[in-house]
Structure 1
Amino acid sequence: MYKFIYCEHEWGGTKAFHLEGLIFSKNFCNFFAETFTKIFVNTTGLKPSSKVTLAGYKQRNELPIYQPGLVSKLNLVIWIMPEFNDNVSFCWKSKTGKIIKPTDEDFDEEDLECWIEGLKPDEYWKQVATEKKISSFSDS
């Protein structure tokens, strides 16, 4: 079963995120992984796979990978095989106004509203269809 992000490492998330200074608590990593997947799948109809995933690098712009605030953001890149990249932002805010950081271990998941900015479902489906035409290998 593929996931967008795995939370097995002591820093949570991917090594590339860690190198960018983004460290997750175990609890936040699991929350992010489950919530991002649910929103992405419900919005696009695509599931994470070896061909549709989060890139292991930050957006190629001036935005930091993590922006804290009343609305916090993880500025990420969707990668669709063979070479499609799309900038998206996973956003969350607390209903009570508390700022929740990715390093926080103890937080109320029910207090958070989450969404993904920048999703382009139609474009992703075009890319998946293009990839299937040019690729002779299949997902395992």
Structure 2
Amino acid sequence: TLQAREQHIRREKATSNICSNESLCTLAATVYLSLLGKDGLIEAATQSTQKAHFLANEIASIPGFSLCYPDTPFFKEFAIHCPVSAQRVIQDMLNKHIFAGVDLKSYGYDENTLLIAVTEKRTRAELENYATALREMNYE
């Protein structure tokens, strides 16, 4: 019989490492990409890039914040240097019901480095709200 997972088999003897959650994510991505089609995928990628660059420029204009790699091209993710710890920014933004990004301290960066990702799903208003919320923090 086929099994979704091999939970009853010890890790060393398991013949696969795929679990139902990975399969579900793969299926969801496949369905989404199929529905988008070639032109839709190009449009989604273009929007992601434009929106990410818009937000990066907005954040870079806020005193105390800067892009970690200002001269490096990027697609939809970028790292910023914050005037306070990334954890504080994350918590302060969470208090405003905004997911700020990922603290990169555990990936070898300093405690003030934050990774931000922007996709085609975010609206211009949401991006402006993000930048406005950061501006209002007055971390200087």
TM-score of the alignment, normalized to the shorter chain, above 0.5: no
Q: Pick the structure with more strand per residue.
A: 1
Higher normalized helix content (fraction of residues): 2
- Scaled by the length of structure 1, the TM-score of the pair is 0.30
State the TM-score, normalizing by the size of structure 2.
Answer: 0.30
Q: Is the radius of gyration larger for structure 1 or structure 2?
A: 2
